[in-house]
Amino acid sequence: MIETKIYVGLNDSETLEQKFDTLKYVNVLKNVCKNYGIPFSISPSQGGYIHENGQYTEEITLVISMIDVDRETVNEIAKDLCVFFHQESVLITENELRAYFVNETL
């Protein structure tokens, strides 16, 4: 299995400030994932990065974790998120994953 994560900063790429409440961004991410029909988890994180112009920014970053979603779909989602959240870019990571479910009934 492949675990893919998309890291989306919440600061606007021009104003360098977060325009909306974090929960609003989370709801947008949920809707995007639902519309693509993929399983996902969303986690907030504090992050920092350097813009293309060299300026350093700290911001809240949302991390979308997906398991076994094809790369083409991940890239489409990432492009949508760049537009929706007005970002220069988003980060995508991929890792090989061994996972299993445990099930118990009473």
Higher-confidence position of 51 and 42: 42
pLDDT of residue 47: 83
The whole-number average pLDDT for the span 17-29 is 94
Whether 55 shows a pLDDT value over 90: the answer reads no
Q: Which of 32, 37, 100 is nearest to 62 (CA)?
A: 32
Question: At the topology level of CATH, where does 2-96 sit?
Answer: Alpha-Beta Plaits (3.30.70)
Residue with tokens 């693509």: 36
Distance of alpha carbon 55 from the chain centroid: 22
Q: Which of 73, 56, 54 is nearest to 16 (CA)?
A: 56
Higher-confidence position of 54 and 92: 92
pLDDT tens digit sequence for 59-96: 999 999 999 999 999 999 999 999 999 998 999 999 99
pLDDT tens digit sequence for 27-40: 999 999 999 999 99
Whether 105 shows a pLDDT value over 90: the answer reads no
Across 19-23, 47-51, 86-90, least confident range: 47-51
Could you give the CA distance from residue 99 to residue 33 in angstroms, rounded to a whole number? 21
* Phi, psi dihedral angles at 79 (to 5 degrees): -65, -40
- Burial class from Cβ neighbours inside 10 Å (0-12, 13-18, 19+) for residue 5 reads middle
CB 23 within 8 A of CB 101: no
